[in-house]
Amino acid sequence: MFARATSGDKRNNNKFSPCSLKAIEPVLNAKARSAKGCFTEPQQSICGNGVVEDGEECDCGWEEDCKDKCCYPMSRHPSIDEKPCTLTPRAHCSPSQGPCCTVGCTLKFGDKCRDDNGCRDPSFCDGQMPQCPPSVNKPNKTICNKEFVCYMGECTGSICLAYGLESCQCIPGPSDPTTKSCELCCKVPGENNPCKSSFLWNEPPFDVPDMFAKPGTPCNDYNGYCDVFQKCREVDPSGPLATLRKLLLSDESIASFKKWVQSNWYTVVLIVIAVLVLLKPFVDFAEGIAVILRSAAVVNDLLVLLLLPLGTLEGQRGFSDYRILLLLFLCYNRS
């Protein structure tokens, strides 16, 4: 694995390299031999999982979930005469076997069971089996989704193929727009033929529609991907955090910041003054809150004194002491 974009339609795009296989193998072996048995393929059919497997005629799940009257469900205490995952008497098929079986346990004929996907023709039940018959692929180079062509029944080929051209990646020049790398580009088959944007193929028989590459299309010689803004974003193997660290903390960024401060020192001074001016109201507000809280505490103490029975105060140190406390409160509150 390395930092390089892929189109997904090349011969080895769905294969791991020997280096990757060597790194993955010990992890898979450890997981496969764990208690949960991850990545270990089941060696026998499991009746009740809703999937028709080897040795099963049908599989509609467990008896709590099965609504199929054509198939015996899996049960905790199955009857000898009702073997789970087998067809019921007089049933020709079960809907669990495929879309070409009715709820009445008979085979459908002529019903559409698969739609046209642009690169494969629709398929219809043939009355011979409950499974949907395979669809017929449309000819390669048939235009699909207005931007691609069919290849082996899938809408994956470049529209360049429909005009007898090959897909290629445009290399932008000094005066080209930033979107040049993400324009749909084609070339005449051959080694040294130039790669031209679809905006330049305007004459028959190569009247290719003007369009940009779809987001996610490789660009810049497979070193990046096109984004939704028609910009080529380079592949970054280190991830977004490393990119941010490189942007903010690299030697170049720090040197550039120092140079900017030296040449724009007056701007820095103005920013500092503005920050101090903006902070002053917050500081004053905080001081006001502190005064209010202090006053509230004093008022609370006064209320406690006022609520004490006069007899209690007189009986201990006299009523004059009580007035002295009030005087002290007033002095404290004014300070």
pLDDT in tens, 238-276: 556 566 666 666 777 778 878 888 888 888 888 888 888
Rounded CA separation 107/302 (Å): 93
Q: For the full predicted model, state whether its pTM sits above 0.75.
A: no
Q: Locate tokens 């991907």: which residue?
A: 225
Rounded CA separation 221/168 (Å): 9
Q: In sequence order, which ranges of 80-145 are alpha helices (DSSP H)?
A: none
In the chain, the amino acid numbered 181 is S
Judge whether residue 141 has pLDDT over 60. Answer: yes
Long-range pairs, 141-144, Cβ under 8 A, ≥24: 144/118, 144/119
Rounded CA separation 133/113 (Å): 8
Judge whether residue 7 has pLDDT over 70. Answer: no
Q: How confident is the model at residue 322 (pLDDT cuts 50, 70, 90)?
A: low
Q: Regarding predicted confidence, which is higher, 215 or 7?
A: 215
- Residue 131: the pLDDT is 96
Judge whether residue 290 has pLDDT over 80. Answer: no
Concatenated DSSP letters for 214-257?
Answer: PTT-EETTTTEEE-TTS-EEEP-TT-HHHHHHHHHHSHHHHHHH
For the four alpha carbons of 247, 253, 256 and 261, in that order, the dihedral sign comes to positive
Q: Regarding predicted confidence, which is higher, 317 or 220?
A: 220
The rounded mean pLDDT for the chain is: 82
- Residue 130: the pLDDT is 96
Average the pLDDT over 11-34 and give the result: 81
Q: Locate tokens 């002529």: which residue?
A: 110
Rounded CA separation 127/19 (Å): 50
Q: What are phi and psi of 124, to 5 degrees?
A: -125, 145
Q: Regarding predicted confidence, which is higher, 234 or 305?
A: 234
Q: 3-class DSSP state for residue 62?
A: strand
Q: Locate tokens 């380079």: which residue?
A: 234
Would you state the CATH architecture of domain 42-114+124-131?
A: Irregular (4.10)
Average the pLDDT over 123-144 and give the result: 94
pLDDT in tens, 53-65: 999 999 999 999 8
Q: How confident is the model at residue 332 (pLDDT cuts 50, 70, 90)?
A: low
Class of the CATH domain delimited by 143-234: few secondary structures
